[in-house]
């Protein structure tokens, strides 16, 4: 057995520290502020909270919450492909954190869709009313199925947490045995069939990550030529793959810092090692597409489009590419970390550009600038996601700890002792 | 054939196109272009900007409206207006460089494209291109995602942003309720100067060509909507370039073409996804076996 893989709930480590650290309190406030605007949206309508209009029907709720959310949750399927399909066991320790991010990420994507669509109570309609011509239909169906797959993939973590520990209080005690039996059956069934869901997850992700790019193609001339291209689906897919590992690296380092653990340097650096080739392929297609469509001249018009495009490509792709390629990345996790941050930044800007900056309605009376309400909701959702992530890793066995490297860390066995008291 | 007779005759055809085809919907199913689809020719050189059509449109769609007299107020022309939630059609006025005393008035509404982007885009298929040419939104399926608005090249569908429950997509429906009963669209009926000619699309294109041919000084040689986005049911003729009188410059390719080609390419009868699935499955199986073989070998050695 590989000793790296030893996921434990981290709450055992928190005997000394409270759940509500100052950071957590700030995040809670940001989340609550966002939820206030969500409530206002449901009471008074979308127009009350947002700056959306007939000219700009989609804003940051679609551009950031949904489109960027899906891209940043790509770590789920890229690590599943690496860990399970390529069967590289040394990476198994990062599969669970990435799965959690994907599960929470997609849950918030779904929430983002629900608050953005006018008739949120019909969000399930695509299940029964089909329009196979629509790229959005494909994205919708894939995301719905993939979200279910993610929940199924997460179930073994739940059964692992509770199996042999079911302990209902007093009058519910009679439930202990049947629930235990149910968990055991579930665990057995899942471990036999999990491969079906893991492969399905990778296929579904490939499909909707690319179809998300098809979305804006139908906007035709409304989209600035720097971004409007028939290869958008491919660019979206490649960029999603390229941000998968950086996202895992980013989270892993942040989570380790926040919980006082030692980051798994070797594995993270190895992951970082795989980013450069993918980035390079993405960049090649992006530049190649510009050559073929002869859109270079738009870069010399100094305006918001050329500037945003250059930021996206130079800061978000080329600089991190060189950082990942440099020999320093082998020695220092810091370089890998900051390169990952830049890749993530690049993808966020890319999705923002595609859905917001590039969109130019033929008749526009004033430009779209997201309202305080829209920004509050978007930031609030991010805060809520971080809080949930923290709660999940404290309660469920997700993050692996390396016992011998750090004396303070309580191993799985110790944890159980603590928990029983 | 004079214009009055033509109009009366075409009402009959229009009604037949609507009714006949709804009865035999198998022969001409929804969203397949009918040869007999109707259209409107707008002659912007005839329009006087009385805005009666705006009133008639509201009136026939049960949208609250000020009395007809109020529409005589021409000060609204100072600003460029767009169709929106509670006004499906608007008339804008543009200067006429040839004759400053005769400004150009242009009525605008949904163009009812032959290959509508909104129909292709709608996630649940709640917009249809009907056999009589109308592009019509239906309430039951709509989820309010506004993708139709993103897709529309003419920026036509409008949304009730301030309605928390059951907000609707709102746009010109080519008076589908009226044409079903054999009536003319409300705007066409009320137009006092016959700037709007309702008829089979193939017929009104002939009329437009004829008009341009007979009066080459009066018109530019361009029928807007004949080829734009591969054809629209509403077509326009004008004395001034169309991009100068508020029309978007569009290519002749229809908007949904590329995205539908990609969609159907990826999903060709589900073959690519299934192939991909089996490929990954095989890969997973081989890799797992390889690991097991390695373990086996190691234990044999030791």
Q: Is residue A115 part of a domain?
A: yes
Q: What are phi and psi of B293, to 5 degrees?
A: -65, -40
A314-337 pLDDT tens trace: 999 999 999 999 988 888 899 999
Q: What is the CA radius of gyration of chain A?
A: 22
> For residue A61, which of A408, A360, A368 has the smallest C-alpha distance?
A368
A86 has pLDDT over 60: yes
C-alpha distance across the termini of chain A, in Å: 30
Q: What residue spans define the domains of chain B?
A: 3-255, 262-301
Distance from CA of A385 to the nearest CA of B (A): 24
State whether B263 and A138 contact (CB < 8 Å): yes
Distance CA A420, CA A170 (A): 17
Say what the pLDDT of residue B69 is.
Answer: 92
At A148-184, the pLDDT tens digits run 999 999 999 999 888 888 878 877 888 888 888 889 8
- Alpha-carbon distance of A374 to A60, in angstroms, equals 7
Element (H, E) at B213: helix B201-214
When comparing pLDDT for A52 and A84, which is higher? A52
Residue A121 C-alpha, separation from nearest chain B C-alpha, in angstroms: 8
Q: Does A53 touch chain B (CB under 8 A)?
A: yes
- The answer as to whether A31 is a domain residue is no
**pLDDT for position B263:** 81
pLDDT computed for residue B253 by the predictor: 86
Inter-axis angle of helices A176-214 and A232-259, nearest 10 = 140
Residue of A nearest to B156 (CA): A54
- Closest-CA residue in chain A for B125? A131
- Residue to mutate among A80, A119, A206, A366, with most B CBs inside 10 A, is A119
Across the interface, which of B143, B266, B267 has its CB nearest the CB of A125?
B143
Banded model confidence at residue A407, pLDDT cuts 50, 70, 90: very low
Nearest-angstrom CA–CA distance, B151 and A222: 9
Please tell me the total count of domains within chain A. Answer: 1
Q: Which fold has domain B3-255?
A: Alpha-Beta Plaits (3.30.70)
B277 touches chain A (CB under 8 A): yes
**Do the domain assignments include residue A419?**
no
pLDDT tops 90 at residue A124: yes
Residue of A nearest to B289 (CA): A87
What is the structure's pLDDT at A341? 97
Q: What is the mean pLDDT of chain A?
A: 88
* Mean pLDDT, rounded, for A77-102: 90
Give the mean pLDDT of A396-418: 54
pLDDT at B22: 40
State the average pLDDT over residues A344-373. Answer: 94
Domain of residue A121 covers 72-365
Residue B288: its pLDDT value, please?
A: 85
Short-list B259, B253, B221, B213, CA closest to B237: B221
Residue B48 CA to residue A339 CA, distance in Å, equals 63
- Rounded to the nearest angstrom, the minimum Cα separation between B274 and chain A is 9
Residue A412 binned pLDDT confidence (cut-offs 50, 70, 90): very low
- How far is the C-alpha of A100 from the C-alpha of A388, rounded, in Å? 10
Please list the residues that pair with B33 across neighbouring strands. Answer: none
Size of interface A-B (CB pairs under 8 A): 188
Comparing alpha-carbon positions, the chain A residue that sits nearest to B260 is A133
Residue of B nearest to A41 (CA): B164
Judge whether A296 is closer than 8 Å to chain B, CB to CB.
Answer: no
Rounded-to-integer distance, Cα B105 and Cα B94, Å:
6
- Structure-token pair, residue B17: 């196109």
Q: What does the H/E/C string look like for A127-147?
A: HCCCCCCCHHHHHHHHHHHHH
Counting as low any pLDDT under 70, the low residues of chain B are 1-30, 302
Instruction: Nearest by CB to B273, from A131, A137, A207: name it.
Output: A207
pLDDT at B19: 43
B159-190 confidence digits (pLDDT tens): 999 999 999 999 999 999 999 999 999 999 99
Say whether residue B162 is in contact with chain A using an 8 A CB cutoff.
yes
Domain CATH number, residue A187: 1.20.1630.10
Closest to B151 in 3D by CA, of A189, A276, A133: A133
* Cβ separation A218–B256 shorter than 8 A: yes
A144 domain-assigned: yes
Residue of B143, B253, B270 to mutate, interface with A, max A Cβ within 10 Å: B143
Asked whether the beta carbons of residue B145 and residue A136 sit closer than 8 angstroms, the reply is yes
Provide the total of helices (H) and of strands (E) in chain B, helices listed first. 9, 9
Tell me, yes or no, whether A16 lies in a domain: no
- Check residue A366 and give its pLDDT: 87
Structural domain includes residue A20: no
Nearest C-alpha neighbor of A99 from the set A27, A152, A163, A161: A152
Q: What pLDDT, on the 0 to 100 scale, is given for residue A163?
A: 83
**Is A413 a residue whose pLDDT tops 50?**
no
- Is A44's CB within 8 Å of B164's CB? yes
Whole-complex ipTM: 0.89
What's the pLDDT at B6?
Answer: 52
Q: CA–CA distance from B172 to each of A82, A365, B83, B134, B298 (Å)?
A: 52, 21, 9, 9, 75
Q: How many of the other CB atoms lie within 10 Å of CB of A38?
A: 18
What is the tens place of the pLDDT at every residue in A207-265? 999 999 999 999 988 999 999 999 999 999 999 999 999 999 999 999 888 888 888 88
Cα B83 to Cα A326: distance, rounded to the nearest angstrom:
56
Among A57, A203, A216, beta carbon nearest to B277:
A203
Across the range A275-303, mean pLDDT stands at 93
**pLDDT band per the 50, 70, 90 thresholds, residue A405:** very low
Instruction: In whole angstroms, give the CA distance from residue A252 to residue A3.
Output: 18
Higher-pLDDT residue of B30 and A409 is B30
């Amino acid at each position: 057995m590989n000793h790296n893989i030893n996921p434990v709930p981290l709450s055992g480590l928190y005997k000394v520290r409270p759940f509500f650290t100052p950071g957590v309190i700030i995040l809670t406030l940001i989340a609550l502020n966002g939820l206030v605007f969500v409530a206002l949206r449901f009471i008074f309508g979308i127009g009350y909270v947002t700056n959306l209009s007939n000219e700009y029907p989609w804003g940051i709720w679609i551009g950031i919450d949904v489109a960027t959310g899906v891209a940043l949750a790509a770590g789920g399927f890229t690590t599943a492909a690496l860990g399970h399909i390529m069967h590289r066991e040394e990476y198994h320790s990062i599969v669970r954190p990435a799965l959690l991010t994907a599960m929470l990420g997609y849950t918030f994507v779904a929430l983002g869709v629900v608050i953005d669509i006018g008739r949120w109570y019909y969000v399930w309609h695509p299940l029964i009313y089909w329009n196979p011509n629509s790229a959005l239909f494909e994205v919708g169906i894939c995301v719905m199925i993939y979200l279910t797959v993610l929940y199924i993939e997460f179930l073994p973590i739940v059964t692992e947490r509770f199996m042999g520990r079911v302990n209902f209080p007093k009058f519910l005690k009679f439930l202990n045995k049947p629930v235990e039996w149910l968990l055991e059956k579930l665990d057995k069934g899942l471990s036999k069939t999990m491969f079906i869901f893991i492969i399905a997850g990778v296929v579904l992700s490939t499909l909707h990550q690319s179809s998300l790019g098809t979305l804006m193609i139908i906007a035709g001339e409304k989209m600035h030529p720097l971004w409007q291209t028939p290869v958008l689906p491919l660019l979206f897919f490649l960029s999603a793959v390229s941000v998968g590992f950086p996202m895992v690296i980013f989270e892993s380092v942040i989570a380790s810092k926040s919980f006082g653990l030692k980051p798994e340097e070797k594995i993270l650096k190895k992951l970082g090692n795989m980013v450069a080739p993918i980035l390079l392929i993405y960049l090649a297609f992006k530049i190649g597409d510009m050559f073929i469509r002869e859109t270079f001249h738009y870069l010399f018009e100094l305006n918001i489009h050329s500037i945003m495009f250059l930021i996206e490509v130079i800061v978000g792709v080329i600089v991190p590419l060189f950082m990942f390629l440099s020999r320093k990345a082998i020695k220092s996790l810091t370089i890998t970390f900051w390169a990952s941050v830049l890749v993530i930044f690049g993808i966020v800007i890319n999705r923002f550009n595609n859905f917001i900056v590039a969109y130019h309605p033929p008749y526009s009376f004033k430009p779209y600038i997201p309202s305080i309400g829209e920004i509050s909701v978007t930031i609030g959702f991010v805060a809520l996601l971080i809080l949930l992530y923290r709660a999940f890793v404290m309660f469920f066995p997700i993050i692996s700890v390396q016992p011998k490297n750090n004396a303070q860390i309580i191993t799985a066995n110790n944890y159980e002792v603590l928990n029983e008291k | 054939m004079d214009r009055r007779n033509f109009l009366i005759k075409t009402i009959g055809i229009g009604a037949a196109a609507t009714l006949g085809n709804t009865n035999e919907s198998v022969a001409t199913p929804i969203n397949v272009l009918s040869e007999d689809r109707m259209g409107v020719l707008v002659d912007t050189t005839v329009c006087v900007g009385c805005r009666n059509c705006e009133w008639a449109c509201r009136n026939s769609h049960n949208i609250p409206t000020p009395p007809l007299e109020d529409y005589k107020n021409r000060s609204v022309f100072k600003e460029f207006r767009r169709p929106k939630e509670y006004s499906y059609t608007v008339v804008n006025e543009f200067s006429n460089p040839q004759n400053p005393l005769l400004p150009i008035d242009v009525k605008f509404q949904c163009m009812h494209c032959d290959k509508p982007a909104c129909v292709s885009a709608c996630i649940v298929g709640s917009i249809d291109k009907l056999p009589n040419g109308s592009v019509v939104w239906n309430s039951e399926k709509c989820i309010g995602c506004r993708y139709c608005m993103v897709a529309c090249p003419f920026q036509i569908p409008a949304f009730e942003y301030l309605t928390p429950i059951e907000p609707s997509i709102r746009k010109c429906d080519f008076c589908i309720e009226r044409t079903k009963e054999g009536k003319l669209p409300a705007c066409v009926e009320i137009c006092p100067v016959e700037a709007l000619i309702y008829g089979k699309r193939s017929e009104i294109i002939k009329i437009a060509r004829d008009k341009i041919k007979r009066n080459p000084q009066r018109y530019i040689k361009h029928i807007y909507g004949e080829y734009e986005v591969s054809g629209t049911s509403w077509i326009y003729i004008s004395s001034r370039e169309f991009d100068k009188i508020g029309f978007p410059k569009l290519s002749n390719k229809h908007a949904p073409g590329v995205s539908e080609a990609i969609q159907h390419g990826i999903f060709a009868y589900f073959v690519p996804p299934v192939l991909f699935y089996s490929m990954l499955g095989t890969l997973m199986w081989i890799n797992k076996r390889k690991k097991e073989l390695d373990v086996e070998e190691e234990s044999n050695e030791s």
